[in-house]
Structures are given as structure tokens and as C-alpha cells.
């Protein structure tokens, strides 16, 4: 039974299609199928009523009732020809996130199909993440996994994002820019991958409006000023072409001009470094005919009527884009002496070009809105399978997001296998990228490559139409040098994964060494084997402590992250001291000699170190302590008091009587002039030209002074870069590590010291 919701009680103006559906007299496509009409109407009616009641009392930033947003999203999905389940998901897509309703209740009320769609677009807002970046990355991971089961998930999400972008002006400026940037970098490329061009253009233009408001306004004004003259020229050339097509016996279903969207014009101005008045092809003519054969005949007529521009012809009919886009593109010189783009396609190609994957259910007569769901198994979604193949291997949120953006770029390179199979790759891809695109083991055992029958270097950039053959060896393996020239994220990740696995023992030893330098040797073995550290490994998403040590040694996780997690676990377990199998004092991050040292008393002083007022003292060069770290003083012979980090290896042989309890005075630091302290770090990076310059530039951006730099290189090995820098405190050092690790060529970064005592 359809629940009765009186439209007179609704405090918004409903669109005509929904009003008709709710009142049960629809003649629209959504209710035209006799066998499904009642169930479809019941589903849509029930979803709307459920969402309306749940969102009552909620308002958008614009002040309008929140239900206006789900209604608009459902309307966009209806325009795309979405099924009743999709339209229902449009109404319900925010109820799990914004109300107390569970996803299980959605399935109970509306079925498994609607549940999958709603769950796929629901954010993980009720889970606490360490950062916005981690939250954003995890939400995209979930969305892509849901897409693999049903591609309609992302269509619902795109409809949601499109309406949010249309109403973005009501949000604060900072939030507008953040959402607009995410839309331009993620959602517009996704719409492109799905071939939903009109949605892609609108998302890009709306993002452009908020990210570059002044440029957007100027181009908008320029386009409006030139519109009349442009339309007049297009009308004249269209009349000429229509007449010639008719003479040739070709039925022209449509011949019209299509203006370029504003962001496309802006991109062309930026890439070609031109002003607006220097951009001529601001519109394109579109010719729609009946058959593929007529497309090519129409192309000949266009080239006969107007002079073709060399290098501007593209045949996307014979070589479709990965999103199934098909059309003939050609650039010609129009009668007025300026360039003009002409697109030629069939009606079916036009449907796919406008609606992309939505054309699968919008225009198929056999199946209608209930056509078979599309998944990542479909060949047309090879790019989605690639995302799913390596996304679980990338634990770093920032790296994952960068890889997603990289994988969504649209201008692919098309090459062939020796058997004639077509493979699409990112621009500037090499033979190594091709090898890993075929299979991980092909890439791992690659020993050489042939392009068009000739042996070429592995770093060779592939061009459209190349025939590529990979030569493998049973004992072959990747080289770190490959990371200098591979283009795709998938290939880079596979090479790094192999490197980590093959150097596992070395990485475990390095991770253990890092822990020992930070915590001291005594008790480290017991610490590593203790229950708290096993919990730390699990919290860092590793199965065992050995996996965590390997990740620590390779640089996949930072020492600071491990120690912070360990402190959290120990603090939570402190009340239950009797249940611990390891004595609490053995878990403390200090040496045995320091365990019984009483804490320094706090007192008012301007000295940066409390406990050495009036005494000669200096910072030890072996461990270079900085504010924010636990420290201890050592009475030396003739040099006053030497300040060390707790856990320094040089304290192992120091007599207890020579130890002086001290600590940093944060209040004194605030009152006095900011001071910096020397720290030595070692960076392991890919050996390429300019890597040191990139690192120094990143440090300069952080306001870090570099005291000295030394680079050590060896053939076929990573470069070791030793830097002496000046740091204010521990948080700034951690920020330096974070920023340097964002460089793609950095393999590891660690803190070291010069032992001279």
C-alpha cells in the first residue's frame, strides 16, 4: 500500500514530475511500464515521505527546508533516466548520515538495491579520524568499492555533488573553496570517466566560479559580448554544410553549434598562454547522422567545404575513449578565416556522449530503467578496476588521494599488445607502465621491451598507436631506477611493494634500530614483545609487530606515530598494573640508569632549561635534544652540564651520581626571543637530478635554515642526503618530516646525530 502524504501539508513547491507521481496520474516514463508501474510509484512515494518526515525541522544554510536538496538530487537522477531505486536513493542519500536511521532499516523498508546505493554515498561521518585527509581518503575508498558492485552509486553521488555546487554560495568562503577544489580534482574527472559530459562541464564551471572568481567573471563577460557575432558565423557555415549533405543524400538529423564551457576556454588560455581575443574556436559544430558510414562521408564533405587543419583530426569512432565516447573530431578553417571544430556522430553516439553510462539505462529499449547493473567487471570500466587493484596497498591517506586524482586524468594514450588488444595508459607512460598494466608479474620480471618491433630503453615514452611487447626473465626483478621515469601510480606502487618485500629483513632491523635510538637498548626487546606493542601494531593496521617494524624501517609509518600510539595504550592500561606481564618500568621510554631519577622541580625562570640556572651547560651533539623532548643533564669534566635526550645511547655508561634532572621550560621560551637548535637528519631518496633542490625548496617554504648539506651516491643505489638544520621544537621537526615525505622521490627520512663525546 502507498502511504498517503497530503501534498497540501508540504512546505516546499514540488517539481511537476514528483507532484504527478505522488498523486498517481503519471504518464511519464517512470510509470509507463504496466508491470512495474505500481511498485515503482510506491517505492518513490515511500522514499519521499520517509525522507520528508526525517528531515523535518532541518534547514540548509540558505534557510530553505533541507528536503529541497534530496528532491533536487532525485530530479537530476530522473533526468538521467535513473530507475525507481536510483530516484529513491536520491531522496534517502542523507538520512543515514544526518538522522538516527540505520542502513539496516533502509534495507528493511526499501530493499537491498536501495540500501547498496544509499550506503555507497554515505560518508563515514560518525567515525573519528585523525585528520580531514584521512577521513576524505577513507570515504573515497568506500565509494569506489561500492562502485565496483554497482556503478550507479557514483551517479547518485554526482547528482548530490552537482546540486550542492549549484547552492554553494550560502557556505563560508573557506568551505566553498575546499568543496570546489575537491569537485574539480575528483568529481568532474569521475563524470568524465563515466562520459556524462554535461555534468562534467557544469561541475567544472561551478568549481571555476569559486576557485577563480575574477577570471570566471571576465570570461563570462567576454563570451556574452561575442555571442551574437559567433552565432551568426556558425549559422552561415551550418547552412552550407546542411545543403552539401543533402546533395550527397545524407540525412542530417541535427546540425547545430555547441558553445565551449567557460572552464574549457580558461584552460586553453592558460595552456597556450593566450588572451581571450586570441582564442578563436569558442564553439563547435555538431553533425548527427544515421550510420557510421555516413559519419565518414560527412567528414569528407566538411573537408571539401572548409580547409582542414593538419593534426586536428581524431577518430574516436574507430578508437573509442575508455568511457565509450565515440565521434569524429576535425579542425577546419571557416569561411571567415578562423578555426572551427566540427564533431560528427550518430544519434546513439550522441546519447552516449551526453549521458555516458547513463545512456545504458536511459536509451536501451530492451530493459529500460531496469537494465542489468554495470560493475567493474565490464571492460569499459578498466580504470575502476585499476583503482581497486592497488588502493588497499596505499595506507597513507595523502598518497592515496594523489593516486586517485592521477588515475582520473582524461587524456589517455592508446597502445596495442602484439595480439592487437587495446590498452589505455596515462600520458607520458613508459614501457614499464605498460608491463604493470598487463600484469604485476610481467612488470616485476620485465627485462626489456620492443616498440613497433624495435628494442627500446625501458624509459621510452609511448605514443598513440604503438605496438608494445614486453621481454621478461625468470630471475628478473624491478629496479629502484624505474621509479625515476614510470608515470602511473599503479606501477610506482608495485615497484615499491616489491622493494619492501625483498628488503624485509633489512627494514625490520632498521625499524628496531630506530626504536632503540629513541627508547634506549635496555628493555626494548621486552617492549617489542609486550602486549601493548602488539595492540599498537594492530592500531597501525599491521598484523604483527614484525610487520610494524618493517614499515617503520621503510618509512611507511613514522616513529612519532608508533610512540604516540604506544603511549595511548600504556596510559589506558595503567590502572590495571597487576594484569601486565611486563613490569611498568620496563615499558617506560628511558634507560635503566634514568628510571629512578626524580623529576626536576618547576620554578619561574627565563632559562629555556629548568634545573641548570646559573651553571655552564650545553646541548649534547650526539643526540641534539630540542624542546618538546624528555631530557636529562650529565655533569662533565671541564665542560659544565651536557644536556641529552632521555634514551641517548651515550648515557648507558654514565654513573648515576653524575645525572642532573632537568626539563624544558615552555614558559621561558614564550617570554624570551624564539631560539633554534641544531638537528641532523638523513634522507634516503631516489638518485635523480634536482632532488636536493626540491628538498631544500620544501625546507625553505617551512622557514627552516639549513646549516650544511652532504650527498652520497652509489651506482644503482638510493642517494643519502645528510642535512644539518635549525629547529625550534619537536612539533616543527615533525612538520618538516611530514612535508619532506610528501615528495614522491623520498624513500625514508630519519633523525641522526654526530657522536663526539
Query: Alpha-carbon distance 369 to 33, whole Å?
Result: 10
The architecture in CATH of the region 214-370 reads: 2-Layer Sandwich (3.30)
Name the CATH code of domain 7-170 (choices 3.40.720.10, 1.10.3210.10, 1.25.40.10, 3.30.365.10).
1.10.3210.10
pLDDT tens for residues 542-581? Answer: 778 888 888 887 666 777 778 777 767 766 655 443 333 3
Q: Quick check: helix, strand or coil at residue 10?
A: coil
Indicate the fold that domain 677-752 takes in CATH: Alpha-Beta Plaits (3.30.70)
Query: Alpha-carbon distance 248 to 290, whole Å?
Result: 14
pLDDT tens for residues 646-690? Answer: 878 888 777 766 777 788 876 544 444 468 888 889 998 888 888
The residues, any chain, with a CB within 8 Å of residue 132's CB and separated by 6 or more, are none
Q: Can 379-481 and 677-752 be said to share one CATH topology? A: no
pLDDT tens for residues 161-203? Answer: 999 999 999 888 888 998 998 888 888 887 877 778 888 889 9
Residue 344, pLDDT above cutoff 90? yes
Per the rule left: phi > 0, alpha: psi between -120 and 50, beta: everything else, 368 is left
Query: Alpha-carbon distance 52 to 49, whole Å?
Result: 5
pLDDT tens for residues 347-378? Answer: 888 888 777 665 555 544 333 334 445 444 45
Cβ(192)–Cβ(410) under 8 Å?
yes
- E strand map for 233-301: 254-259, 283-289
Partners of 454 in beta bridges: 451
Query: Alpha-carbon distance 11 to 68, whole Å?
Result: 10
Cβ(701)–Cβ(710) under 8 Å?
no
Q: What are the DSSP calls for 554-573, one per residue?
A: HTSS-HHHHHHHHHHHHHHH
pLDDT tens for residues 689-741? Answer: 888 888 888 888 888 888 888 888 887 788 889 898 998 888 888 888 888 88
Residue 21, pLDDT above cutoff 80? no
Radius of gyration of the chain (CA): 32
Nearest to 343 by CA among 374, 388, 298: 298
Cβ(562)–Cβ(552) under 8 Å?
yes
Partners of 749 in beta bridges: 683
pLDDT tens for residues 47-56? Answer: 998 999 888 8
Cβ(342)–Cβ(285) under 8 Å?
yes
Partners of 725 in beta bridges: 679, 706
User: How confident is the model at residue 361, as a pLDDT?
Assistant: 53
Average pLDDT, the chain: 76
The residues, any chain, with a CB within 8 Å of residue 450's CB and separated by 6 or more, are 456, 468, 469, 471
User: How confident is the model at residue 10, as a pLDDT?
Assistant: 60
Q: How many residues does the chain have?
A: 757
Q: Quick check: helix, strand or coil at residue 475?
A: coil
Residue 7, pLDDT above cutoff 60? no
Q: Which residue bears the cell 602486549?
A: 531
Dig out the grid coordinates for 300 from the structure: 569528407
Q: What is the reported pTM?
A: 0.54
Dig out the grid coordinates for 485 from the structure: 621515469
Q: Which residue bears the cell 621550560?
A: 665
Q: For the chain, what are the domain ranges?
A: 7-170, 214-370, 379-481, 504-587, 592-671, 677-752
* Strands laid side by side in the 705-712 sheet: 705-712, 719-727, 677-685, 746-752
Cβ(739)–Cβ(727) under 8 Å?
no
Residue 453, pLDDT above cutoff 60? yes
Cβ(630)–Cβ(518) under 8 Å?
no
Query: Alpha-carbon distance 639 to 637, whole Å?
Result: 6
User: How confident is the model at residue 367, as a pLDDT?
Assistant: 39
Query: Alpha-carbon distance 704 to 679, whole Å?
Result: 11
pLDDT tens for residues 148-161? Answer: 567 788 888 889 99
Dig out the grid coordinates for 213 from the structure: 572568481
The arithmetic mean of pLDDT across residues 577-590, rounded, is: 37
Residue 388, pLDDT above cutoff 90? no
Query: Alpha-carbon distance 467 to 488, whole Å?
Result: 19
Cβ(188)–Cβ(204) under 8 Å?
yes
Cβ(611)–Cβ(600) under 8 Å?
yes
Show which residues are catalytic.
Answer: 97-98
* Pairing status of strand 339-346 against strand 283-289: parallel
Cβ(118)–Cβ(89) under 8 Å?
yes
Cβ(418)–Cβ(467) under 8 Å?
yes
User: How confident is the model at residue 445, as a pLDDT?
Assistant: 92
Most confident segment among 173-177, 281-285, 370-374, 602-606: 173-177
Residue 514, pLDDT above cutoff 50? yes
Q: How far apart, in Å, are the Cα atoms of 114 and each of 2, 123, 369, 375? A: 17, 16, 14, 16
User: How confident is the model at residue 597, as a pLDDT?
Assistant: 39
CATH superfamily of 379-481: Beta-grasp domain (3.10.20.30)
Using 50, 70 and 90 to split pLDDT, how confident is the model at 137? low
How many CA atoms lie within 13 Å of 207's alpha carbon, on the beta-carbon side?
23
Percent of the chain as helix, strand, coil, to the nearest 5:
50, 15, 35
Query: Alpha-carbon distance 541 to 306, whole Å?
Result: 63
Query: Alpha-carbon distance 52 to 92, whole Å?
Result: 9
Helix (H) or strand (E) holding 721: strand 719-727
Query: Alpha-carbon distance 221 to 648, whole Å?
Result: 66
Amino acid at each position: 500500500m502507498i502511504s498517503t502524504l497530503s501534498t497540501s501539508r508540504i512546505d516546499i513547491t514540488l517539481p511537476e514530475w514528483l507532484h504527478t507521481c505522488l498523486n498517481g496520474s503519471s504518464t511519464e516514463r517512470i510509470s509507463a511500464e504496466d508491470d512495474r508501474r505500481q511498485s515503482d510509484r510506491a517505492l518513490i512515494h515511500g522514499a519521499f515521505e520517509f525522507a520528508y518526515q526525517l528531515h523535518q525541522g532541518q534547514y540548509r544554510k540558505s534557510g530553505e527546508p533541507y528536503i529541497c536538496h534530496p528532491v533536487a538530487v532525485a530530479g537530476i537522477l530522473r533526468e538521467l533516466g535513473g530507475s525507481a531505486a536510483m530516484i529513491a536513493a536520491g531522496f534517502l542519500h542523507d538520512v543515514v548520515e544526518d538522522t538516527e536511521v540505520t542502513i539496516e532499516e533502509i534495507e528493511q523498508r526499501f530493499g537491498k538495491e536501495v540500501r547498496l546505493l544509499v550506503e555507497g554515498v554515505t560518508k563515514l561521518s560518525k567515525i573519528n579520524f585523525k585528520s580531514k585527509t584521512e577521513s576524505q581518503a577513507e570515504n573515497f575508498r568506500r565509494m569506489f568499492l561500492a562502485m565496483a558492485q554497482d556503478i550507479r552509486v557514483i551517479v547518485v553521488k554526482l547528482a548530490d555533488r552537482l546540486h550542492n555546487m549549484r547552492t554553494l554560495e550560502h557556505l563560508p568562503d573557506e568551505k566553498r573553496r575546499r568543496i570546489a577544489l575537491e569537485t574539480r580534482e575528483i568529481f568532474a574527472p569521475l563524470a568524465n570517466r563515466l562520459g556524462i559530459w554535461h555534468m562534467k562541464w557544469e561541475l567544472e564551471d561551478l568549481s571555476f566560479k569559486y576557485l577563480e572568481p575574477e577570471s570566471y567573471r571576465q570570461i563570462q563577460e567576454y563570451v556574452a559580448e561575442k555571442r551574437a557575432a559567433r552565432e551568426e558565423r556558425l549559422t552561415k557555415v551550418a547552412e552550407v554544410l546542411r545543403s552539401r549533405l543533402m546533395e550527397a543524400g545524407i540525412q542530417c538529423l541535427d546540425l547545430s553549434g555547441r558553445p565551449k564551457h567557460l572552464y574549457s576556454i580558461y584552460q586553453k588560455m592558460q595552456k597556450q598562454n593566450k588572451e581571450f581575443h586570441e582564442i578563436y574556436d569558442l564553439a563547435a559544430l555538431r553533425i548527427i547522422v544515421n550510420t557510421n558510414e555516413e559519419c565518414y562521408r560527412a567528414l569528407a564533405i566538411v573537408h571539401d567545404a572548409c580547409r582542414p587543419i593538419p593534426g586536428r583530426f581524431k577518430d574516436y569512432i574507430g578508437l573509442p575513449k575508455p568511457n565509450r565516447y565515440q565521434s569524429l573530431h576535425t579542425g577546419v578553417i571557416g569561411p571567415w578565416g578562423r578555426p572551427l571544430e566540427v564533431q560528427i556522430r550518430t544519434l546513439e553516439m550522441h546519447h552516449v556522449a551526453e549521458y555516458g553510462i547513463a545512456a545504458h539505462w536511459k536509451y536501451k529499449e530492451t530493459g529500460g530503467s531496469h537494465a542489468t547493473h554495470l560493475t567493474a567487471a565490464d571492460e569499459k570500466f578498466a580504470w575502476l578496476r585499476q583503482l581497486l587493484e592497488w588502493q588497499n596497498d596505499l595506507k597513507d591517506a595523502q598518497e592515496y588521494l594523489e593516486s586517485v586524482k592521477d588515475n582520473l586524468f582524461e587524456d589517455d594514450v592508446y597502445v596495442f599488445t602484439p595480439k592487437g588488444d587495446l590498452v589505455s595508459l596515462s600520458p607520458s607512460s613508459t614501457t614499464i607502465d605498460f608491463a604493470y598494466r598487463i600484469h604485476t608479474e610481467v612488470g616485476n620480471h620485465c627485462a626489456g621491451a620492443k616498440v613497433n618491433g624495435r628494442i627500446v630503453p625501458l624509459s621510452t615514452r609511448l605514443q598513440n598507436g604503438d605496438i608494445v611487447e614486453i621481454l621478461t626473465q625468470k630471475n628478473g626483478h624491478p629496479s629502484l631506477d624505474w621509479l625515476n621515469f614510470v608515470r602511473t601510480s599503479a606501477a610506482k606502487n608495485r615497484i615499491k611493494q616489491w622493494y619492501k618485500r625483498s628488503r624485509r629483513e633489512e627494514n625490520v632491523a632498521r625499524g628496531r634500530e630506530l626504536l632503540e635510538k629513541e627508547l634506549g637498548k635496555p628493555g626494548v626487546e621486552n617492549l617489542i614483545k609486550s602486549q601493548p606493542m602488539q595492540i599498537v601494531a594492530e592500531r597501525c593496521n599491521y598484523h604483527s609487530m614484525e610487520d610494524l617494524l618493517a614499515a617503520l624501517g621503510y618509512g611507511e609509518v613514522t616513529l612519532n606515530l608508533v610512540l604516540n600510539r604506544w603511549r595511548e595504550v600504556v596510559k589506558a592500561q595503567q590502572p590495571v598494573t597487576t594484569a601486565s606481564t611486563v613490569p611498568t618500568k620496563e615499558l617506560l621510554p628511558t634507560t635503566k640508569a634514568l628510571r629512578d631519577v626524580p623529576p626536576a622541580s618547576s620554578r619561574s625562570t627565563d632559562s629555556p632549561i629548568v634545573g641548570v640556572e646559573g651553571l655552564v651547560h650545553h646541548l649534547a651533539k650526539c643526540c641534539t635534544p630540542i624542546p618538546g623532548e624528555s631530557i636529562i643533564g650529565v655533569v662533565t669534566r671541564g665542560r659544565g652540564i651536557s644536556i641529552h635526550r632521555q634514551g641517548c645511547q651515550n648515557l648507558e655508561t654514565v654513573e648515576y651520581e653524575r645525572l642532573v634532572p632537568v626539563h624544558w621550560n615552555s614558559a621561558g621560551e614564550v617570554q624570551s626571543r624564539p631560539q633554534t637548535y641544531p638537528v641532523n637528519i638523513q634522507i634516503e631518496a631516489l638518485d635523480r637530478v634536482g632532488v636536493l633542490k626540491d628538498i631544500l625548496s620544501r625546507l625553505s617554504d617551512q622557514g627552516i635554515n639549513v646549516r650544511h648539506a652532504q650527498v652520497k651516491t652509489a651506482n644503482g643505489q638510493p642517494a643519502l642526503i645528510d642535512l644539518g638544520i635549525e629547529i625550534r621544537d619537536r612539533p616543527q621537526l615533525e612538520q618538516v618530516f611530514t612535508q619532506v615525505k610528501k615528495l614522491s622521490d623520498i624513500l625514508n627520512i630519519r633523525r641522526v646525530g654526530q657522536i663526539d663525546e
